[in-house]
Every structure is written in C-alpha cells, then in structure tokens.
Structure 1
Amino acid sequence: MTLPVNVGVYGGGRMGAGIAHAFLLAGTSVTVIEADTTTAAAAQDRVDASLAKAAALGTLLGSVEGVRARLTVVTDPTALAECGLVVEAVPEIVELKARVLARIEEFAPTAMLATNTSSLSVDQMAAGLARPDRFLGLHFFNPVPASDLVEIVVGAKTAAELVTDAQKWVVALGKTAITVTDSPGFASSRLGVAIALEAMRMLEDGVASAEDIDSAMTLGYKHPMGPLRTTDVVGLDVRLAIAEHLAREVGARFEPPAILREKIAAGHLGRKTGQGFYTW
C-alpha cells in the first residue's frame, strides 16, 4: 500500500510540523489542525522554514512553492474528512491525546489513526475509540526531517493489515521502521531514557563533565550524539515526563535524579530555552 493521498496532522508544534514535512516530501497532501489562528500561523512558519532548509540542502524535489501548495493549516477539524491517515501530535498527556483522538475519529470516520507518542500507552488511548483496530502508534523522532527511524507501536487491538501498511508508509517516507508491542517506553524511549538518567547521575556525582560523559558515548560507542546533549535537544521537561511515567510503570530504576528536577525548576529546559546541560 502506498501512502494515503491526503494525510492529516493534528498539532503543528515542533513534532507535528516535522511530521507534516516528512509526508509533504513523500508527495502527499497534508492538512495540519491547530487550536487557533495564532498557533496555526506558527505551525505554517515552522513547516515553511523546514521546507526552505530542505531546498537549501538539495533534498526537496520540486520548488518550495510547489510543495507548500499541498499543505493546508487550519483550525477547523472538519478539514480532516478526506484524510486516509491522521497522525495526532499534541503534547505527551494521555488524557489530552485520548480526547483529541476521539475528536479526530468523529471528523475523519474512515481514516486510519496514529498517535505520535514516545512512551504513553497505545492501548489506553485506544480504549476510548470506536475503531481501535484502525489505530496504532507512529513514534517519529526529533528532528523528524533528519531522523531515519520511526517506531511502530502495535496495540492489542491493532489490525495486522494496518501494521503492514504502516511499515510500507515508513519506507515511502524514506525512513526505517522498527515494530514493537505496546509497553512502557516501547524500545527507543526506554533505552534512551535509561542511558540519559545514568549520565545525569554521573554528572551529579562528579564522575566527569557533561562533555566528557557525552564523548564516552559518541567516540566510544559511536552514538551520533551524547545522552546529555540529546536531552537538551529533546527538552529536559520532556525527559522528565517520560522518566516519571517509566518509574510508575516499570520501577524505581527510572526515578529522575535531583539534577534533572533542579534544572527544570530553574527554567533550564535545554536548547529551546538556551540552557540545559549545555549553553546553546
């Protein structure tokens, strides 16, 4: 199965804009839904900037204007009616995601649904849907345009045919899929957060500097970016939310260290605020 002709993205923040970018580059028409005209304009600007960067890098087929013509950013969810797939990309709050997914299902009754979550339960979100068999997780990674990976998260009621379709969609996006069953943190977040939390504890204990801890992983284990710098890029607040979720679901080994809470309390959220474990 090729990509749906029309794809919806509910939420035009950093991740939503990146997901929209990925589908636009693959040739689909994309409708982004935002809460109000201000956030809709900001979402449009994010996608425009992303497309301009792709053009500068030579990864955009066609003109920015031609690709942009396939993008619609609106506040009215009835615009999702013709979409074959809608990806929810609102903040990592399970109750919010569940409400949004039910809303999408109302306005796009024939669409396949996906949640872009890094750790929350797909089955918990599916419980409120009329068609849970047409729902799964598509965990894109930040920044979406540069990332090669998409984690497909299979719920207990997800239809096998949908999983097969999703694997083909990821290939069509020029990315690689891994497929996991719904479980706390899936594969990527569980491993990534475990390494990041231990790196924070090492920094807290004075084992080494942030730079040297990161170099141990980039040079010693060929990670493209160290765990502390990655945390800055992802956002310390995002890491904290995932760690707290994993601590509740998996156990105390995921309990966030004091240094993470202290930095967040000081407003140091990483790259987006200019200060985290590094100065940006």
Structure 2
Amino acid sequence: MNVGIIGSGTMGSGIAQVAATADCTVKLYDTNQEALGKAKSALEKILLRLIEKGRINTEEKNRIQSNISYVDNLKDLSDSDLTIEAIVENLNIKKKVFSELETYVSDDCIIASNTSSLSIASIAASLERPERCVGIHFFNPAPLMKLVEVIPAIQTSKEVLDKSVKTIKDWKKVVAVAKDTPGFIVNRVARPFYGEALRVYEEGIADFATIDAAMKSVGGFRMGPFELMDFIGNDVN
C-alpha cells in the first residue's frame, strides 16, 4: 500500500513510522525542508534506541527507513492509496490542503485526517468526493499508543470506513469507531479530567505537582493531568 502523510511533525512522523513498520511505501510530505530533515534524524534516533532495547535489529531498521521517502511537493502523493493529514488544528487550512490534494490523487484514494476533535464532515465538505474522507486519529506517540479512533463523517462511504478499519488493524493497532462529534471518544472524556484538575489548582486546593502525584499514586494514572497536558501540548491540542 502506498501511504502519503501530510505534515512531518510529531504526529505525522510517528504515523509514517507505523505505516513503514507495517511495510507500506510511505511518502512524508511537508513544505518545510528543515522539518523534513528533523523528522528523518528523529526517526534514526528512535530506531537506534529500539535496536539498543532489542526490539528490532539492524535489518529491520534499514527496512523501515527504506520504506519512507521525504517530499516537499503535494503532487508527489499522487500515487497514494491512503493519505493521512496531520497538520495544524485549523479547519480552514485543512480544507485548503484537502481540496488541493484531491486534484492530484486517484478517485480510489482515501483522504483521512488525524484531527483530534474537528468535524470530519466539515473537512469532507471541501472535497468533490466527500465519501472518500474519514477521520483516523492516532494518539501521541503514535508508534507506542495502541488505540486509533476511526471516525466516519456523515458523507463517508461504508467501503471507505471498512477499508480504513482493516488497514489500521493490519498496522497492529486497536480500532475504536467513533461518531463524528467534538472530541470523539477519548478527548471528550479527557476534557473534564483536565478541567477539574485546573479548578482544583485555581481554588488553591493543591499545586500542579501535588495534583499529578495524587492522580498517579492514588488514581493509578500513568501521567497526571498537568503532566499529560504538557506532554500533548496545549498549543496544538
């Protein structure tokens, strides 16, 4: 399968690694050459760490890297069977990219967004063939997090949904099909978690470190709410 990833930031490069590990031919696209260079260097470091931990060998590292090419022209994704957009969470920018992308790819290409909460139906509306659009939401870090939300818009065809679910399962991920509502499943549940933590701090009940420590030691969470917000990045989430 030929996979095009739009955006070489943390999520885009992570998804590219997942697809390449599953032996897909991946093109990672970004308009910024420096960002592409950083993504390539970051992957090298990640794979070397995996070798050190005994999770992969040198042959597997070389295979994964050879499956990814780095491109700065959207037209280079024209042979994609699946594209996944992972750029800034701005609806207008996403719609502009999707509209241009559709002019390059085949009629059978699935055009997906990794948005964490924006309306898939609104993104799909930018396409001439909105039935090919679907949400495929990975969590950070994509290579480690098993869960992937697959979100059909009201326009999404059953064929596109079924093919998307099968592909993500083939990539050794656990799929949760969610309705196209704000935040989908995980982020909708997580918002009150963050919100209540902020209220506890604002009311002077405890400081950031204490709240995080309590939620980890007593609540059993792997990360406290403030640690998690910092890790995800409030500026991009």
TM-score with structure 2 setting the length: 0.92
2:104 is matched with which residue? 107
2:35 matches 1:39: yes
- 1:25 aligns with one of 11, 15, 21: 21
Matched, 1:93 2:90: yes
Q: 2: distance between equivalents of 1:221 and 1:101?
A: 41
Compute the displacement of 1:38 (Å). 2.0
- Alpha carbons of 1:46 and 1:200: their partners in 2 closer, same or farther (altered >3 Å)? same
- CA positional deviation for 1:49: 2.6
1:1-280 counterparts in 2 under 5 A? 5-60=1-56, 62-110=59-107, 111-239=109-237
Secondary structure (helix, strand or coil) at the match of 1:224 reads coil
8 Å contact kept, 1:217–1:226: yes
Change (3 A) 1:131 1:51: farther
1:192 Cα deviation after fit: 1.1
Residue 206 of structure 1, CA deviation: 1.5
Q: 1:40 to 1:163 in 2, by over 3 A?
A: same
* Aligned equivalents of 1:48, 1:139: Cα separation in 2: 24
Q: Deviation digits for residues 221-280 of structure 1, max 9, x if unmatched?
A: 4322121110010112234xxxxxxxxxxxxxxxxxxxxxxxxxxxxxxxxxxxxxxxxx
Tell me the CA shift for residue 8 of structure 1: 0.6
Output the amino acid matched with 2:125: A
Bigger relative CO (Cα 8 Å, ≥ 6 apart): 2
Q: CA deviation at 1:157?
A: 0.8
Is residue 3–residue 81 contact of structure 2 (8 Å, CA) maintained in 1? yes
Amino acid at match of 1:174: K
In structure 2, the residue matched to 1:274 is none
Deviation string 1:94-126 (CA, Å, 9 cap, x unpaired) is 111111111221111231111000111101111
Q: CA deviation at 1:89?
A: 0.8
Structure 1: unaligned runs, 5 residues or longer: 240-280
Structure 2 unmatched runs, 5+: none
- Mapped partners of 1:74, 1:161: distance in 2: 29
Secondary structure, aligned partner of 2:70: strand
Considering only aligned residues, what root-mean-square deviation do their CA atoms show, in Å? 1.6
State whether residues 79 and 106 of structure 2, in contact with CA within 8 Å, keep that contact through their aligned partners in structure 1. no
Count how many residue pairs are aligned between Structure 1 and Structure 2.
235
Name the CA distance, whole Å, in 1 between partners of 2:102 and 2:48: 33
Contact 2:6 2:84 in 1 (8 A): yes
